[in-house]
Amino acid sequence: MNESAVSRLCKLDRVIKRRFDKLADSTGINGAEGRVIHYLILNQDKITFQKDVEIEFDLRPSSASELLKRMEKKGLIERMSVESDARLKKIVLTDKSREHEERITRDLLKFEADTQVGISDEDLDVFDRVTNIIMANLKNIND
């Protein structure tokens, strides 16, 4: 009997999370933290707020807040007030996280490449379309 798409997606999610967490090695930066650091590196020309992290990683506000608090406690980021609105806190990389910038970028790019070995561009396009449809369907489910 064929496994359901949802079951395969759940298994894929667990494998990906475990692989990301293996990238943490001795730095103590777990997979989620590394992905946030990488996102901040790629967007360092912009001011980034918690809301941006929520949107990029599809996180609930409470989950994003906890992740960012943990990163701040580890000294990986700082949240700084912006002049235009003291209630808003921009997220800034610290020197500690910048020390790992090259490794994080290298590891994530290699991880991306490794996951796509043997998959054609056409198949990746189909995968992209199908996952976008599934995401839209899940967001449209009435609870």
Helical (H) or strand (E) element with 88: strand 85-93
What's residue 55's pLDDT?
95
What's residue 50's pLDDT?
95
What's residue 25's pLDDT?
64
pTM of the model: 0.80
Give the pLDDT means over successive 10-residue stretches in the chain (143 positions): 86 88 75 90 93 95 96 95 86 92 86 94 96 91 75
Q: Where are the domains of the chain?
A: 5-108
Name the residue among 24, 10, 1, 21 with its Cα closest to residue 134.
10
What's residue 1's pLDDT?
60
27 burial class (0-12, 13-18, 19+ CB within 10 angstroms)?
Answer: middle
Decide which of 3.40.50.720, 1.10.10.10, 3.40.50.300, 3.30.420.10 is the CATH code for 5-108. 1.10.10.10
Distance in angstroms (rounded) separating the CA atoms of residues 101 and 103 = 6
What's residue 20's pLDDT?
80
What's residue 26's pLDDT?
62
- Render the burial of 33-68: b for 16+ CB within 10 Å, e for the rest: bbbbbbbbbeeeeeebbbebbbeeeebeeeebeebb
